Amino acid sequence: MQNIKVWLMDERYNYIERSEINFAPVIGALWSIGECEKKYPFLVGIDPYGDTYFNIHQAPKVIEELEELKKEVASESTQKEIVNTMEFFKKVEQGISVKFIGD
């Protein structure tokens, strides 16, 4: 099974915190939703096979999209990953970003 990790990094690309989140099921659920590109422009930009970064200015929009996505996802385990990701994004501040590491 694919694994998309979610980590916090500082502005010098040093790892601050590694989460236990696997974002791959969330990406799968996202792409099963019609018109997801229009509804979730930040989330669809996450590269499942490469690295994607979000900074302090982008984090509130990502959280907003995750809140909306959670309403559309039926799987409890995927909803849990969404909630965990939203909580992880709340740690973003000036000089700290979230890095998604694709498989």
Q: What's the average pLDDT block by block, 10 residues per block, for the chain (103 residues)?
A: 92 96 96 95 97 98 98 96 98 97 93
Enter the pTM of the model: 0.94
Give the amino acid at 71: K
Q: Which residue has the tokens 């422009």?
A: 41
Q: How many residues does this entry show for the chain?
A: 103
Q: Which residue has the tokens 């659920």?
A: 29
- Taking the domains of the chain in order of start, what are their residue ranges? 5-101
The whole-number pLDDT of residue 1 equals 60
Q: Identify the DSSP state of 19.
A: -
**What is the dihedral angle through the alpha carbons of 40, 76, 21, 84, rounded to the nearest 10 degrees?**
70
Containing 69, the helix (H) or strand (E) segment is helix 59-72
